[in-house]
Amino acid sequence: MPTKKSDLQKLTKLGKKASASRTLEVFPNHEPGKIEVTLRCTEFTCICPLTKQPDFATIEIVYRPNKFVVESKSMKLYLETFRTVGVFHEHLAVDIGKDFVKFVKPLTVDVTVHFNVRGGIAIDAKYHYDQDEEPFDPRKLFA
């Protein structure tokens, strides 16, 4: 099914000069639950919250859209907002994942941040969301 004009109506960033913002735009999914989408950003940058040194990473987002698909330019602009943000790698995976769920409302999403080696260690952190899973409760580990 081709893209319809109505699919484009709410998009404000695509095809226009837009500044980075911590929001994501979506368009209608014609086949909810029937596709899987992978987004890969190989030029991600943020900074260490303590030393302020730059950190470089590849960000991979794999999701199954429900009613909406994320518009890729808004995703690019969203990721650019982290360039001057001091954030631990593990926190970044969670922040991106929660924002993605908030704006896109997917059936499932996995956000993996693959950080380049620094100090001899490369860090990968993964956030997982599945709308059908019970949220993780760490208190149950010690009950």
For residue 137, give the 3-state DSSP assignment.
Answer: coil
The verdict on whether 41 is a catalytic residue reads no
**Structural contact between residues 47 and 55, judged by C-beta atoms closer than 8 angstroms:** yes
Cβ partners under 8 Å of residue 88, min gap 6: 49
Catalytic residue among 55, 99, 130, 137: 55
48 assigned to active site = yes
Radius of gyration for the chain, computed over Cα atoms and rounded to the nearest angstrom = 17
Which is nearest to 44 in space by CA: 14, 71, 81, 15? 81
Catalytic, out of 48, 99, 130, 132 = 48
Which H or E run includes 40?
strand 37-47
Q: Which among 121, 113, 122, 125 is positioned nearest to 45, based on CA atoms?
A: 113
State the catalytic residues.
Answer: 48, 55
